[in-house]
Amino acid sequence: MFRSLTPVVRALLYTNLIVYVIETLTGDRLLVPFALWPLNAHALYGAPPFEPWQLVSYAFLHGSWLHLFSNMLALFMFGPDTERVLGARRFTEFYFACVIGAAVTQMIVMRIVDPGPTETIGASGGIFGILLFYGMNFPHRRIMLIFPPIPMPAWLFVTLYGIFELVQGVSGSSQGVAHFAHLGGLATGYLMILYWRAQTPRYL
């Protein structure tokens, strides 16, 4: 099963797992320097300051084993086919562009809403970019959800998931979930797909 993993996906899976083990051994010590902190939270609330590397480092931190498992399961399921289409270099560019785009989107929303000294962690921004690419490249592949156990084509799954995140983010439901970061990952992924489509038909 793991032999089917592509190189970058394998590296991301191992790195996220190793970082989570370090998190469990050190408590919250990694959150201060490496989580994504709002720009104004340090001055207003005494929270840790924002640092540029947090635009990437936050994506390797997870709040629980379930948080890690859900992201890594999606990476395991949809990442290899995406990497095979793009190649290792472009897949890496795509993933981290979505991670950064998700971070920037979340920071803009946090600046407007001002939720206090709330950090953002998790690989979901990059994962949502991968989901979008998968749905656009393999639209008719069937995906079986765990709950509810309903099979659906990939394009429908990605569309419904995006709408769900938008509704949740605008309504303020599911506090503690960075819905706009997820949407930022989707939007960044879509912009990159449009750019590559203009450069060469191979990429959609």
| pLDDT tens for each residue of 19-56 | 999 999 998 899 999 999 988 877 667 788 999 999 99
Task: Grade residue 125 by pLDDT with cuts at 50, 70 and 90.
Answer: very high
Distances (CA, A) of 199 to 186, 192, 193, 202, 204: 20, 11, 10, 9, 10
What residues have CB less than 8 Å from 29, skipping those under 6 apart? none
Distances (CA, A) of 120 to 6, 29, 32, 48, 62: 28, 15, 11, 12, 9
What's the fold here for domain 2-199?
Rhomboid-like fold (1.20.1540)
Angle 119-120-125 from CA coordinates, rounded to 5°:
170
| pLDDT tens for each residue of 47-100 | 889 999 999 999 999 988 988 998 998 899 899 999 999 999 999 999 999 999
Whether residue 103 has pLDDT greater than 80: yes
